[in-house]
Amino acid sequence: ISAFQILMFVIGISFINYPFNVILVVSDQQKKNFVLMVIGVLINIVLNFMLIPVYGLSGAVTATVISSLISFFMTIIVSKYFTPISVFNIKLLKSVFAASFSCFIMFLAIRPLAVYNVNIFYSITMAILVYSFILFLLGLLYNGIPKKS
């Protein structure tokens, strides 16, 4: 698995984290959201200083994944305790599942492309198309096929 394939998981984490960031903004908790982002960046910087000299590019990717996960969990905790919005409701969990599943399928779809050293722009385009298509299918599954009136 290449470093760039692992970074695709960070994109997935970002998509999953987005609704929780919006919950903080909508609940007038922008300062807490900003502090969480700064903490995530600082964790990333510290881990980069520790891991890059030893592991190179793999260390940088590992630092990014770890800092993204820590930021994600901190955002969930802050959202739960400082907002009146129910963080764990069915609609939000469906969205989180859809983003996670789409990210996983996207990873599976582009993994062979990286193995055969396909052009990065083609791989990114393919990843966007696969991710969007899976989200569209899951939206149809959740909401049903729209009926003509």
Q: What is the pLDDT of residues 64-85, one digit of tens each?
A: 999 999 999 999 889 888 888 7
- Rounded to the nearest 5 percent, the helix, strand and coil shares of the chain are 85, 0, 15
Q: Are 99 and 40 in contact (CB under 8 A)?
A: no
Q: What is the mean pLDDT of residues 27-51?
A: 93
Separation of alpha carbons 144 and 122, rounded Å: 32
Q: Which of 22-26, 42-46, 50-54, 92-96 has the lowest mean pLDDT?
A: 92-96
Q: How far is CA 105 from CA 82, 109, 113, 133, in A?
A: 34, 6, 14, 10
46: Cα separation from own chain's centroid:
21
Question: DSSP label at 99?
Answer: H
pLDDT of residue 28: 87
**For 30-34, 69-73, 137-141, which range has the lowest pLDDT when averaged over its residues?**
137-141
CB 24 within 8 A of CB 30: yes
